[in-house]
Amino acid sequence: MNQPDPAHQPNRTRRRKIVIIGAGMSGMLVAIRLQQAGITDFEILEKAASAGGTWRDNTYPGLACDVPGYLYTYSFEPNPECSHRYAHGDEIQAYFLRVFEKYGLRQYVRFNQEVDAAEYDQHRWRITTKSGEQIEADILISAVGVLHQPNYPDIPGLDRFRGDLFHSARWDHNAPLQGKRVVVIGTGSTAVQIVCGLVDQVARLKLFQRTAQWVLPAFDTPYAEWPKWIMRRLPFTAKWLHQRYDDLYHGILGGGFGKERVLFINTFRLIAERHLRTVQDPDLRRRLTPDFPFGCKRFILSDGFYKAMQQPQTELVTDGIEGIEENGIRTRDGTLHEVDVIVLATGFKAQNYVRPIKLVGEQGITLDQYWADGLKAYKTMALPGFPNFFMVQGPHSPIGNFSLIKIAEMQCDYLLQLVQHIVAGQAASLAPKATATDAYNAELQRHAQNTLWMGNGCQSWYIDSRGRLTIWPLSIGRFQALMKQPKWEDFEISIARSKRRV
Ligand code: NAP
């Protein structure tokens, strides 16, 4: 007779050494690294029914990664299967699913388990899922990603529209597009890709722009079959190529986005200005010209955007939106733009980080309380008062135009050292000291003032509502050095139940 699976017995608390939240790029990486270190007593809780995170959630037309495909992979697992220089979304998702199976991650993951809350008590994290399960773990690792909670704009009448309306990250594939009048709201990296992906499918395409963007050419190109053939058979060639792209990116972007990088920024500005001149109509070109300095926001890369905006079926709308009505969008000049489909390419709640998970640390402190005066973390990874809780892609992670996978790998190397300290019994729990965390964050904000993103009038999701930078302000080399090894004196370490300061 089959034994009942203890995992499915209600009211029973499961115990694990480590719980990872999220089976996206970062969560998978943590799991692989733990396995490689011989640590297998862990579980991944994933809210959705499959792995892949961002690349599972985003399925919009035109989806690609604007980091070259041979670079946008784990360093130990190259991806020969890129049809273009910039791999398409489905190719990237297929890559992650291949890695997921290859590294046997299915045995560790439980799908459809959305973490609702986690409370630290008596040297353990007590995790509750939305389905009501309880799991206890010594270590809790958040790998929930940064850009996954859609930002629905507060445009009046959003719920009145009778046609199809959805966010870019929740694409409704049942909504017909062929021959339809479609609106895209937003002009970030996502909107630009969607415009290129939609332009040849629809009857009319209107892009509602609040802020014009600097757009660099991507120099995308399709890849022939023969290099893939070679890389499949000789994986070291794919690793070599990954490393060359890594070196190239380090050379171009690794120096960071400091205001002193005048040559770097002027070169890119000239390329973007030249690219903008491919727009023939002077009025359209004027309206597509940003009114903020180059480098204020994340670079947008696209070969097709300006071409798409010059198609006869495309229109740029720059009159502000008054509201949404049953049949379309009313702009402030009184015009009603009648449409069939509205796509909200309006970005993400990028400042939420681990939330809405209700995390409660020592002495009942919540994440909302700890972050009441703005986001901060110790070296992007840990928080004072939240022992044995670690984050991949936490606040002030380097994001920019760099490969997030590379960043996650650096963070995992550091994280593993903390985890091994606990697993080896050298600490029952550890958390960064508040003084070390505050000193680190004060220095970050000082450096932030020197970045292009914090220039006069700059606005983007890199900056929080208090005007503080939330991403890494220095070079990638500085981040790499930071992630080399923990400074143990910055931690409060407790051995068994008594705390010792080191
Ligand atoms: P985003 O960069 O935050 O852009 C959101 C857009 O929506 C902006 O143009 C914004 O206008 C507009 N918007 C927001 N609320 C609005 C409102 N109420 N009315 C009118 N317009 C409104 O979001 P995203 O394009 O989704 O990109 C987010 C990030 O995802 C990127 O920066 C990048 O890190 C990542 N991404 C990467 C890739 C890649 O290829 N690697 C592709 C897509 C996205 P304002 O500028 O005026 O605020």
Q: What is the pLDDT along the chain (502 residues), one digit of tens a residue?
A: 344 444 444 556 888 899 999 999 999 999 999 999 999 999 999 999 999 999 999 999 999 999 999 999 999 999 999 999 999 999 999 999 999 999 999 999 999 999 999 999 988 999 999 999 999 999 999 999 999 999 999 999 999 999 999 999 999 999 999 999 999 999 999 999 999 999 999 999 999 999 999 999 999 999 999 999 999 999 999 999 999 999 998 888 888 889 898 898 999 999 999 999 999 999 999 999 999 989 899 989 999 999 999 999 999 999 999 999 999 999 999 999 999 999 999 999 999 999 999 999 999 999 999 999 999 999 999 999 999 999 999 999 987 778 999 999 999 999 999 999 999 999 999 999 999 999 999 999 999 999 999 988 889 999 998 899 999 999 999 999 999 999 999 999 998 754 444 4
DSSP 36-74: HTT---EEEE-SSSSS-THHHH---TT-B-SS-TTTSSB
β-bridge mates for residue 112, sequence order: none
Angle of the 404-423 helix axis to the 25-36 helix axis, nearest 10: 40
Residue 54 near ligand 1, beta carbon < 6 Å = no
Q: How many helices (H) and strands (E) does the chain have?
A: 13, 21
β-bridge mates for residue 84, sequence order: 222
Q: Do 164-214+258-344 and 14-148+350-501 have the same topology in CATH?
A: yes
Q: How far is the CA of 47 from the centre of ligand 1 (A)?
A: 24
Q: What is the DSSP letter of 4?
A: P
Pair 86, 100: CB distance under 8 Å: no
- Mutation probe of ligand 1 site: the residue of 86, 190, 393 with most atoms within 8 A of C-beta: 190
The HSE-up count of residue 245 (CA atoms within 13 Å, CB side) is 22
Angle at 66 between CA 63 and CA 71, to 5 degrees: 115
- Tokens 């991944």 found at: 44
Q: Which atom of ligand 1 is nearest to the CA of 210?
A: 47
Residue 347 near ligand 1, beta carbon < 6 Å = yes
β-bridge mates for residue 102, sequence order: none
Residue 458 near ligand 1, beta carbon < 6 Å = no
Q: How far is the CA of 92 from the centre of ligand 1 (A)?
A: 21
Taking CA atoms, 217 is separated from 2, 271, 299, 305, in Å, by 60, 8, 10, 9
b/e per residue 303-312 (b: at least 16 CB within 10 A): bbbbebbbee
The Cβ of residue 426 has, within 10 Å, a number of other Cβ atoms equal to 12
Token pair recorded at residue 417: 């050292």
Q: How far is the CA of 191 from the centre of ligand 1 (A)?
A: 7
Q: Which atom of ligand 1 is nearest to the CA of 155?
A: 18
Taking CA atoms, 267 is separated from 264, 294, 295, 399, 475, in Å, by 5, 10, 11, 21, 18
Q: How far is the CA of 154 from the centre of ligand 1 (A)?
A: 15
Q: How far is the CA of 143 from the centre of ligand 1 (A)?
A: 22
Beta-sheet pairing, 42-45 with 109-110? parallel
Residue 129 near ligand 1, beta carbon < 6 Å = no
Q: What are the domain boundaries of the chain?
A: 14-148+350-501, 164-214+258-344
Rounded-to-integer distance, Cα 223 and Cα 217, Å:
18
C-alpha torsion sign, points 188, 192, 197, 199: positive
Q: How far is the CA of 405 from the centre of ligand 1 (A)?
A: 20
Q: Which atom of ligand 1 is nearest to the CA of 66?
A: 40
Taking CA atoms, 154 is separated from 36, 151, 266, 321, 367, in Å, by 46, 9, 36, 11, 25
Sheet holding 164-167, edge to edge: 164-167, 341-344, 181-185, 204-208, 314-317
Taking CA atoms, 482 is separated from 56, 132, 407, 410, 478, in Å, by 31, 39, 12, 9, 6
Rounded-to-integer distance, Cα 286 and Cα 212, Å:
10
Q: What is the DSSP letter of 288?
A: T
Q: How far is the CA of 295 from the centre of ligand 1 (A)?
A: 15
Q: How far is the CA of 186 from the centre of ligand 1 (A)?
A: 6
Which protein residue's CA is at the shortest distance from atom 45 of ligand 1?
Answer: 211
SS3 for 314? strand
Domain at 164-214+258-344: CATH code: 3.50.50.60
Taking CA atoms, 197 is separated from 89, 147, 212, 303, 372, in Å, by 12, 21, 19, 12, 40
β-bridge mates for residue 323, sequence order: 330
Q: Which long-range contacts (CB under 8 A, 24 or more apart) does 439-446 make?
A: 440/378, 440/379, 441/376, 441/377, 441/396, 444/396, 444/469, 444/473, 445/469
What topology is assigned to 14-148+350-501 in CATH?
Answer: FAD/NAD(P)-binding domain (3.50.50)
Pair 184, 198: CB distance under 8 Å: yes
- Mutation probe of ligand 1 site: the residue of 86, 194, 210, 316 with most atoms within 8 A of C-beta: 210
Our measurement of the distance from residue 155's CA atom to the centroid of its chain's CA atoms, rounded to an integer in Å, reads 25
Q: What is the CA radius of gyration of the chain?
A: 24
Taking CA atoms, 194 is separated from 12, 186, 308, in Å, by 46, 10, 10
DSSP 387-402: TTEEESS-TT---TTS
Rounded-to-integer distance, Cα 51 and Cα 24, Å:
6
